[in-house]
Structure 1
């Protein structure tokens, strides 16, 4: 089950896993885009509408996914928003929107899926970012980075309470590839002037090291994590571009 599968990396991962033979439930809020993704993915995929900011919607969608798939072996949580805004200008509403999507939605989805995952000895993968605790803070993306740090702590907390389920926080570097709805919309709505000012700071602080990682490699990293036994899953995996391709390192 892939949540956030109507666009961006979530779409790439959901469609990619289905094309590699997995039976996949694609969940997201935008049903029309989701159905297009399911059509591209083929007969192994089903589309289910889900608003991750609404507890009832999450539980209904996940129960439906379990019914259609005959259970749930894994959950991949990909939704995230990252407004480009200085901390001094980040208002309460923006903070709430970021945490609703990046952290609270992940917690709600996991809570709804845990009974199914416990029954299957399943896995959960949360997509995180270099902007979290793994890398240096990104000026202009402070609130986003804080939310990703919280997501990493959430991963550890779920592992502590449910050791029979495998929980992994997948820290993703810059990705290349993905066309149409598969393109990442992270920069949508960013202020161009602020982005121009922030970019040199990101480079000078080492926020953008390495090469771009092809999305095909990212899909393979996710598939590898999901194929391991839940008892041997790592709390954190780093996936970023390198001359040899994708690299994964436990932390």
Structure 2
């Protein structure tokens, strides 16, 4: 549980679905007040309304500077300031060999994942500069190990890790921590992907997950496996942790090994 639940004022991007939605629900249940940002107004508003009075939805295109500025101004007004940002918004466009990625796909994937992290982090820092705060950016194991079949996404997430390390150094003197997480979670997107597989493909996929995941041979659960780390990093227990990349993937990626 959060040490000071009622005090934490949190913005979560990409909160209309998947990990972002699960984290919004979990942090609000622990007592935080949460502003859910997403480009999809229908799903985002639905998530915020399902949480109740502790949450509010604001539409935001994280790749657009004007949209980000307006959303963070609205969030800070409703929250009365800002203590933490969880930058969860992401986009992948698989299906292209590295040598065949169209420039427009490259630009789109980098715009949401890398530019979106950059813009929202800047907006959060401006609100935190005089008081301190915490930023958590969601990366991917692809940004560490590479993904030959999803090279644009891997490149974008690699940028997220490099950016995180850089601004952790730049913003530490202002008492703002910045960390990144590489999660491997069971999400709606993962379920949709699994649903497209034939029985033989699904069996092979599940066997591979068991083979490469030491902890239980399974995908993680966002609420049980990811939320506690996010709570640590944005709460008092994370005040001396910054510039780090955490793999929350059951042991697939052992950083520093």
TM range (shorter): 0.7 to 0.9
Q: Over residues 170-224 of structure 1, what are the superposed CA-to-partner deviations in whole Å (9 max), with x where a residue is unaligned?
A: 1112x12x5xxxx237967xx979xx7xx88xx59x8x53431111121222111
Matched, 1:154 2:158: no
Give, in angstroms, the shift of residue 232 of structure 1.
3.0
Aligned residue for 1:232, secondary structure, equals coil
> Is 1:114 matched with 2:138?
no
C-alpha root-mean-square deviation of aligned residues, in Å?
A: 2.8
TM-aligned CA distance change 1:71 to 1:250, over 3 Å: farther
Q: Does the aligned pair in 2 maintain the 1:82–1:144 contact within 8 Å?
A: yes
SS at match of 1:132: helix
Instruction: Tell me which protein shows more helix as a share of its residues.
Output: 2
Who is 2:150 aligned against?
A: 141
Cα deviation per residue 1:125-152 (whole Å; 9 max; x = unaligned)?
011111111xx33331111111111110
- Contact 2:169–2:243 (8 Å) recurs in 1: no
Give the paired residue count: 231
CA distance in 1, matches of 2:65, 2:44: 20
What stretches of structure 1 of length at least 5 have no aligned partner?
A: none
Listed as ranges, the gaps of 5+ residues in structure 2 are 1-10
Taking a change above 3 Å as real, the CA distance of residues 89 and 192 of structure 1, as seen in their structure-2 partners, is: farther
Question: Which residue in the other structure is 1:13 paired with?
Answer: 23
Query: 1:233 Cα deviation (Å)?
Result: 3.1
Give TM-score scaled by structure 2 length.
0.81
- Structure 1 moving runs of 4+ over 2 Å: 136-139, 184-188, 208-211, 228-234, 247-251
For 1:95, the equivalent position in structure 2 comes to 106
